[in-house]
Amino acid sequence: MKNKHKGKKIFNNVLVYGILISLMIICLFPVYFVFIGSVNPGTSLHSSETFPNILDLNWSHYQALFTDYPYMTWYGNTMFIAVTNMILSTTFGFMSGYAFSRFSFKGKKQGLMALVILQMFPTIMGMIAIYTLLGTLNLLDTHLGYILVLAAGSVAFNTWIVKGFFDGIPKSLEEAARIDGASNLEILRKIMMPLATPILAFVAFNSFIAASMDFIMAEVILRSSENWTLAQGLFTLVSGQSNNNFTVFAAGAVLISVPLMLLFFIFQKYIVEGLTAGAEKG
């Protein structure tokens, strides 16, 4: 009986780890293929060998990014937009989520319902209205206008996920602080913000990725080449009949993933905690 139970446990472990390894391979293979394509000679990805000889790897495509194209300008624009959007989106989401969770005010229920409705419609539906509004405010083809659109578009989702996190924190903590004479601002700064570190890390990371990967809204708002993001700049390498630098495109895609991976590994613990907390307490 004992051997049977042990054999069943081993079988379950092999099955579970087999599935996990298979999923990992499926998820990582496209990343590996893009990297191999970035060091493949020529301009096509179709001739890439799955397991090439290390001596045959061609790193000139990475050099071409900096010598033949304004890659650093695109990179700098993307990082500026992503970091600024991360700060604004996290701040707006944190403050609005905290307000809806902890305070009672007129129109609270209607406000929450409005946020739910806003999440039902994709941003692309309001593209014409956004374009017209930015044109009226002279914010077309500016990083400020693009950042404001990104930050505003993420308010609804961020508010709900932050509100769900705060709803799971006992209000007795705030009541005890008020008895000790703490003001609302002191409670927010000294008690709630430290407790909200996981959800803030998740919202910040999610906002950074959204701004880094966005293409459609950037293409609508940012028209001048000196204002382009990486997504726009790299797209020009493979768009049109004469532009077929797919290997250089792959090299640029690999480099943009570096700050994303570093940010994830630095805040991995908080991001995972924030994701699970927001899901459980919402």
**Per-residue pLDDT tens for 173-228?**
888 888 888 787 888 888 888 888 888 888 998 899 989 888 989 998 998 889 99
Would you say 210 and 154 are in contact if contact means Cβ atoms under 8 Å apart? yes
Residues 148 and 165 in one domain: yes
Place of tokens 């990179």: 75
Pair of tokens at residue 157? 């989702």
Please count the helices (runs of H) and the strands (runs of E) in the chain: 15, 0
pTM higher than 0.85, yes or no? no
pLDDT of residue 1: 56
Residues 73 and 200 in one domain: yes
Number of domains making up the chain = 2
Residues 112 and 148 in one domain: yes
What CATH number corresponds to the domain at position 185?
A: 1.10.3720.10
d(CA 91, CA 111): 18
Domain that holds residue 57: 2-62
d(CA 5, CA 9): 6
Extract the residue ranges of the chain whose pLDDT is less than 50: 278-282
Residues 99 and 201 in one domain: yes
d(CA 261, CA 275): 17
pLDDT of residue 282: 42
pLDDT of residue 169: 82
Residues 136 and 175 in one domain: yes
Residues 13 and 27 in one domain: yes
Q: What is the CA radius of gyration of the chain?
A: 24
Residues 167 and 83 in one domain: yes
Residues 172 and 49 in one domain: no
Pair of tokens at residue 146? 């693009």
Residues 15 and 74 in one domain: no
pLDDT of residue 281: 44
